[in-house]
Amino acid sequence: MDRCRFVPPYLLARVAPQSLAVDATLRAGRGVPVTARQAVLAATAPAWTVHTADHAETLPGRVVRSAGSAPSGDEAVDEAATGITGALALFAEVYGRASYDGAGAPVSLTVHYGQDYDNAFWDGVQLVFGDGDGRVFERFTKPVDVLGHELTHAVTEHTAGLVYEDQPGALNESVSDVFAACLKQRLLGQSADQADWLIGAGIFVPGIAARALRDMAAPGTAYDDPALGRDPQVGHLDDYVSTSEDNGGVHLNSGIPNRAFQLAAVAIGGSTWEGAGRVWYAALTGGGVGPQSDFAAFAGATVAAAGAHADAVGTAWETVGVTPGAVTPSAPVPASAARRVTVRRTGGFAGLRASGELDLDGDDPRAPEVASLVDRVDLGSLAGGTPQPDRFVYDFDLCGDRARLPEQHLTPDLRRLADLVLAPAEGSP
């Protein structure tokens, strides 16, 4: 499966292009292959193990701490340890689930990934966290809900298997926010009406005008800052964003089911993880939700699972414009101009979008190298691949030859081409 990223690609493109380059390196296949890492995990007994990549990009890295061991003194390592202990306890003690696969799989985590890496992700084998750039982002282990979000992508992969695009992808993102919120509130001992409903609070450095990456209670209000732009999430189906970027707007449109969950949790009352959380978990795992389920189908599954709270859950969905069982929209794919090279990067946990365009017939100093790269690239042999939650996805238009590629499928030539086109002309290397 493709890696599931925490920061949306449209946000990273705006504030952290260096992290995009790291993601491109991942696409090029650096690091220990998934099958080899799975074999290493299978040979280890602890419920969880935290590694450090020591600011390199090879996974899983060096073991620092595992279940039952004492704190290491490394903030990121110990935050990851606290977070995974709480997350596994949430799923086991509240929902009766043994690890993300339901069968007690050991969890591998890696911190200190890359240089100034502004993201976190689940790659189908382990959880990975960057330290942030210190300019916009703090370390990604700092808010515990980041870890809860990524672990839930693994749970979704092993249950409903919601595909990571369009409405199913937005639901995939939303479900991760749902159980991230449950984890955070459980660790803080908050009821639904006491919670702040923020996802990623504390992820930004002081001075950035942002409360968090997302606000489940008020989508579109989490940040408004010159470096970040304004939070583009929507919270009602009337405002659904039809786009080819960000895997069909999965980070934008997840605000709709997010707000439905928040409304349902407050209406049901008490602790979110015991109330609305149980309803959403039953819907996710009950067999009524599958890879292609849309908002209406998921809403119907939650109402069916809500028992005495069915009216409250149904009203929550109706408030955001979703009628259980209704048919909902899909997204078109825009065209691009010939003789121009365009690159768009979307996805990632923060959802920041990056895009660039270059006229090969113009006098841009990047044009000769880009033209040479275009001549070497065969997009037709590379197109495809399944997007992963919170991973970046790149849309290329090379003089009319178009393809969408998840970050792990980028070749070194495409990585370089993307770096050139996404960078301002005056800042190109």
Q: Catalytic site residues?
A: 150, 251
3-state secondary structure at position 51: strand
φ/ψ bin of 247: left (φ > 0), alpha (ψ from -120 to 50), beta (otherwise): left
Please tell me the distance from the alpha carbon of residue 64 to that of residue 364, in angstroms, as a whole number.
48
3-state secondary structure at position 396: strand
- Angle at CA of residue 391, ends 413 and 282, nearest 5°: 155
Q: State the virtual CA torsion across 406, 411, 416, 422 in degrees, nearest 10.
A: -10
Count CB-CB contacts under 10 A for residue 386.
13
CB contact set of 11 (below 8 Å; sequence gap of 6+): 213, 228, 348, 350, 351, 352, 353
Please tell me the distance from the alpha carbon of residue 104 to that of residue 345, in angstroms, as a whole number.
36
Strands 62-66 and 198-199, sheet pairing: unpaired
Q: State the virtual CA torsion across 63, 64, 68, 73 in degrees, nearest 10.
A: -170
CA distances from 323 to 237, 254, 292, 298, 315 (A): 10, 16, 17, 10, 9
For 167, the enclosing helix (H) or strand (E) is helix 166-188
Identify residue 312 by its one-letter amino acid code.
A
Contact between 183 and 148 under an 8 Å Cβ cutoff? The reply is yes
3-state secondary structure at position 327: coil
